[in-house]
Structure 1
Amino acid sequence: MDDTTADLVITELHRRQVPVVRLDPGDFPEAVTVQAGVKDTGLTGIIRTATREARLDRVRAVYWRRPRPYTAAPGVKGQDARWCVEEARYGLGGILASLPAHYVNHPWRNRSAEYKPAQLTAAVRCGFDVPPTLLTNDLDAAREFVREHGPAVYKPLRSTDYHDARGQALTVWVDEVDPHDLDEGIAQTVHLFQRRVRSVADLRITAVGEEVFTVRIDGSPGLDWRRHYDSLSYTLIDTPPALAKPIRAYLDAFGLIFAAFDLGLDHEGRTWWYEANPNGQFAWFPPAITQRLVSAVADQLHCAGEPS
């Protein structure tokens, strides 16, 4: 799977002469083989890809990025395929989550931190300012919220793959909503509505261990700056002192080493928390900023891999 962020970190680890095995669980069972045992010394065995192999008891660090879903072997269909996928998820997945290693981040920590309701409640508890938010499948409640807190925006709860009839990938962006735009489709699933922040700039704050990098993003012509990468300017700034404690508390709440926080900066200089991605990208920053983040992640993996 293409992943420019992971590519850059691996390149940096190679430059440091750190041995790396790149593995995608989505390649199992076609191109991945595992032999694992549990002895009085812990987990032992070998995992092999098409080009590499690693002894499980010697893995010291794991950079858990964005693995593809588990699949069944070609030709396995129906209930047999579902059974094989679940066995792989709990078998190989359990092995990969039980290595004697320093994880950035542990897959189960990532999973817990991906749920927006959990993010929102943790952000409030940790001291971030969070705009009024509603999660609902009730049409009347949604309309009332938008009328009361408008202008309001709609946000997807997850970046789920979606394709049109031609197979072209589509994206659901953050967008402003009007009460009259809402219809009975609201009842079909949970939707997230939030009071719009009248922002003058956005902040992307990336925490890597004890290091925190804050990038101010200016120049977005629209509400969702992710639609306008080429129109934006990026400036590495000092992290606002008032955010240091909430950031640390949030990482600790979910047991994260890495997280990318998105916040808005309003006209009064107040920062508003939007979300925190436990597996955020950063390779789209200008090279000078990206390289600092690459080095910070590589430091986490490299130092964990050094013998004590």
Structure 2
Amino acid sequence: MILILSSDDDVHARHVMQHIAESGHTATLLNLADFPKDAHLIFEAGQSSSRRLMQYRGRTIDLSKVSSVWWRRPQPYGMHPDVTDPVLDHFAIREVDEAIQGLWLSLDAKWINVPSRDQDASRKAWQLDVARSVGLTVPRTLITTDPDAARAFIDREGVDRTIYKPFQGSEDAWRETRLLKAEELDKIDAVKYAPVIFQEYIEATCDLRVTVVGDKIFAAAIDSQKAAYRVDFRMDMNVAITPTTLAPETEAGIRKLMQALDLTYGAIDFRRRPNGEEVFLEINPAGQWLFVEDQTGQPISKAVADCLIERADLKRVPTLTDPIMGRVIRAPLPTFRSDQTVAAR
């Protein structure tokens, strides 16, 4: 069984599930937002056997039969509305998480990606250090809560040559990468409240989005320097995105990076300097790809589906066809909105 941990409105998951269906297999999507409010976990262990069941939306899922899992942006748990005491709510959430995380570890399944590896790889400081250690070029970077250290870094780089960005973003609180302005210098003391990432600004001919699925690497060039906002391509994605070829040393470094981070899937951002050098910016272990696939035609969704099928040790069966029309049976999929500023995360 293939299990996908995501949300009901995740268009990426639906595209992959469609490709899995076309291969003659099925995948079960589990939305953790339903647990424990509208779903129940049953785990029984004994000397000779054990059971792992999830009662979910009117059906019982035997998790013991799961052979591959896609850790695809699982949602926060949906706590029961009867729990109104903040102390009890906090206790319940921790208990739920302990049970669920233990359940995942007990599965005899192959993951994309292993949850703990996915979480670790998202840490900006560590991924930068690992990228540097495997030979990728990285920008000069400062992560600090010390205003004096921030000022010293800005003095070295130059006010108009320094970018700053947060560690994470969400639809509720999203911040783009910004080029530091002189009028913002009087706000530098605010870093003492929360750490900020400062980096040298990388002049570029284009941005690169590199999507890695197992041993497959899909590289795309984003014509970001023709956009209305050239610092962060996510702010204006109405530009051309085309397949591209990476420098051999960059591709070799990416493979080493994925191995060092122990990831099967990753969406990696680079910038290509005018001299052709490709500079690593960051890797998102659960990054989006449909905005690339839609323009380039690169079969990333199919690659993810194939990887899940292979890890489940399932054999590809003939594609289902309409007996009358002789066409591949394919359900209509929702259009991916690449105009959303968080679409590329």
Please confirm whether the aligned pair reaches a TM-score higher than 0.5, indicating the same fold.
Answer: yes
Q: Give the corresponding residue for 2:343.
A: none
Compared CA separation, residues 52 and 103, structure 1 to 2 (3 A): farther
SS at match of 1:284: helix
Q: Does 2:167 correspond to 1:157?
A: yes
Q: Does 1:190 align with 2:198?
A: no
Report if the CA contact (8 A) 2:293-2:300 is conserved: no
Shift of the 281–156 alpha-carbon distance from structure 1 to 2, 3 Å rule, reads: same
Give the aligned partner of residue 111 of structure 1: 119
User: C-alpha distance in 2, partners of 1:146/1:267?
Assistant: 23
Aligned equivalents of 1:288 and 1:272: distance in 2?
23
1:128 maps to amino acid: L
The secondary structure found in structure 1 opposite 2:90 is: helix
Structure 1 gaps, min length 5: 162-168
Q: Which residue of 2 aligns with 1:66?
A: 73
Q: Which residue of 2 aligns with 1:211?
A: 216
Deviation at 1:221, TM superposition (A): 3.0
What is the CA deviation profile of residues 81-113 of structure 1, one whole-angstrom value per residue up to 9, with x for unaligned ones? Answer: 111100111102221243111111111111101
Specify whether residues 273 and 80 from structure 1 end up closer, same or farther in structure 2 by C-alpha distance, changes over 3 A only. same
The 5 Å alignment of 1:1-308 reads 1=7, 2-39=9-46, 44-77=51-84, 78-150=86-158, 151-160=161-170, 169-178=172-181, 180-182=183-185, 183=187, 184-218=189-223, 219-222=226-229, 223-229=231-237, 231-287=238-294, 289=296, 292-307=299-314
Q: Percent identity?
A: 28
Asked whether the equivalents of residues 21 and 52 of structure 1 are also in contact (C-alpha less than 8 Å), the reply is no
Report the Cα distance in structure 2 between the residues aligned to 1:261 and 1:280, rounded to whole angstroms.
8
Q: Compute the displacement of 1:173 (Å).
A: 0.5
Q: CA deviation at 1:4?
A: 1.3
Q: 1:259 Cα deviation (Å)?
A: 0.5
Question: For the residues of structure 2 that align with 1:108 and 1:48, how far apart are their CA atoms?
Answer: 25
- Considering only aligned residues, what root-mean-square deviation do their CA atoms show, in Å? 1.9
User: Are the aligned partners of 1:21 and 1:53 in contact in 2 as well (CA < 8 Å)?
Assistant: no
Secondary structure, aligned partner of 1:33: strand
Partner of 2:338: none
TM normalised by structure 2 equals 0.82
SS in 2 for 1:199: coil
Q: Conserved in 2, the CA contact under 8 Å of 1:284 and 1:290? A: no
CA distance 1:129–1:9, change in 2 (3 Å): same
Contact 2:219 2:245 in 1 (8 A): yes
CA 1:119–1:181 in 2, change beyond 3 Å: closer, same or farther? Answer: same
Question: Which amino acid letter does the alignment assign opposite residue 220 of structure 2?
Answer: V
CA contact (8 A) 2:165 2:178 kept: yes
Q: How far off its partner does 1:201 sit?
A: 0.4
* SS class of match (1:197): coil
- The separation in 2 between residues aligned to 1:43 and 1:306, in whole angstroms, is 22
CA distance in 2, matches of 1:179, 1:214: 36
Distance 2:76 2:96 in 1: 10
| CA positional deviation for 1:246 | 1.1
Once the two structures are TM-superposed, the CA of residue 291 in structure 1 deviates from its matched residue by 5.7
**What TM-score results when the alignment is normalised by the length of structure 1?**
0.91
Quick one: structure 1 residues 134 and 289, their matched pair in 2 at CA, closer, same or farther if it must change by over 3 Å? same
Q: Tell me the matched-pair count.
A: 300
AA in 1 matched with 2:138: V
Instruction: Name the CA distance, whole Å, in 2 between partners of 1:147 and 1:242.
Output: 32
Residue 24 of structure 1: CA displacement?
Answer: 1.6
Query: What residue number does 2:320 align with?
Result: none
Distance 1:246 1:297 in 2: 21
Shift of 1:153: 0.1
Alpha-carbon offset, residue 290 of structure 1? 5.6
Query: Match for 2:191: what amino acid?
Result: I
Cα deviation digits, residues 154-191 of structure 1 (max 9, x gap):
01111145xxxxxxx44200010135513221211100
Q: Distance in 2 between matches of 1:44 and 1:75?
A: 29
> 1-side partners of 2:104 and 2:112: how far apart?
13
Partner Cα separation in structure 2 for residue 34 and residue 255 of structure 1: 29
**Is the 2:45–2:51 contact (alpha carbons within 8 Å) kept by the matching residues of 1?**
yes
The answer to whether the 8 A contact 1:212-1:239 is kept is no
Q: Post-superposition shift, 1:220?
A: 2.8
Secondary structure in 2 aligned to 1:67?
coil
Aligned residues of 2:218 and 2:298 also touching (Cα < 8 A)? no
